[in-house]
Structure 1
Amino acid sequence: MPTPLDFTAINAAALPHLEHLCARWLPGGRRIGPEWRCGSLGGEAGGSLGVRLFGARAGAWQDFATGEKGGDPVSLAAAIFRIPQAEAARRIAAMLGIAVEDRGHG
């Protein structure tokens, strides 16, 4: 049965898969220590964007070239795809097989 859109639960479910998600969303990057590093939210090679993959700050990300930053996988997906966070949460939930209520795109 679908559940209401729960950002906390979706972010928590995404964290164990964050390296795989980063590889898919930011294909020009690579893992360096506890971070996924790439050139920008466009996913090209480089080192300006860092995504913390694990540890106390898992999910935190920042593009040091632009100053854009966030604290979780949903905000990262929203920034990469330039979509609202609710839509990003729905897309991540769908990728992870989490059924959520469809309340439109907002």
Structure 2
Amino acid sequence: MHKNIYSDIRRATCMRLSEIVPSILPQGRRMGREWVALNPTRSDRSLGSFRINLTSGAWADFATGDNGGDLVSLASYLYGMSQYEAALYVSRIAGVANDR
């Protein structure tokens, strides 16, 4: 994958984070600029510790210390994908052409 595709994906997803994040983490709610959700990678029963910033895409699970800086790293974490596979997945969600 061409290096610039990561920049394209980040730019395209940042404009649509408030739409995309709830679609991949439906068990959550908006709290200010963040999406607070249940972490599907562990037995998470209450909202609070797993948060995604809807402006930057940065995310963290404050219960485990896991974190990342964008939607690609979030997809990689949630679905156990490589960064490359996650970038392809996110590019499809965001409608970013990945023919480079």
Task: State the TM-score, normalizing by the size of structure 1.
Answer: 0.80
Alignment of 1:1-106 (within 5 A): 4=2, 6-42=5-41, 46-54=47-55, 58-101=56-99
- Any unmatched runs of 5+ in structure 2? none
Q: How many pairs are equivalent?
A: 97
**How far is the alpha carbon of 1:36 from its aligned partner?**
0.3
Distance of 1:20 and 1:45 partners within structure 2: 22
- Listed one character per residue, the Cα deviations across residues 29-59 of structure 1 (whole Å, up to 9, x for unaligned) are 11000100012244875111111111xxx11
Q: Distance in 2 between matches of 1:46 and 1:96?
A: 26
CA contact (8 A) 1:49 1:64 kept: yes
Structure 2 letter corresponding to 1:69 = N
Question: Conserved in 2, the CA contact under 8 Å of 1:28 and 1:45?
Answer: no
Change beyond 3 A, Cα 1:11–1:45: farther
| Identity across the alignment (%) | 36
Supply the RMSD in Å over aligned alpha carbons: 2.1
Q: Which moved more, 1:41-50 or 1:29-38?
A: 41-50
Unaligned runs of 5+ in 1: none
Q: Which residue type is aligned with residue 63 of structure 1? A: D
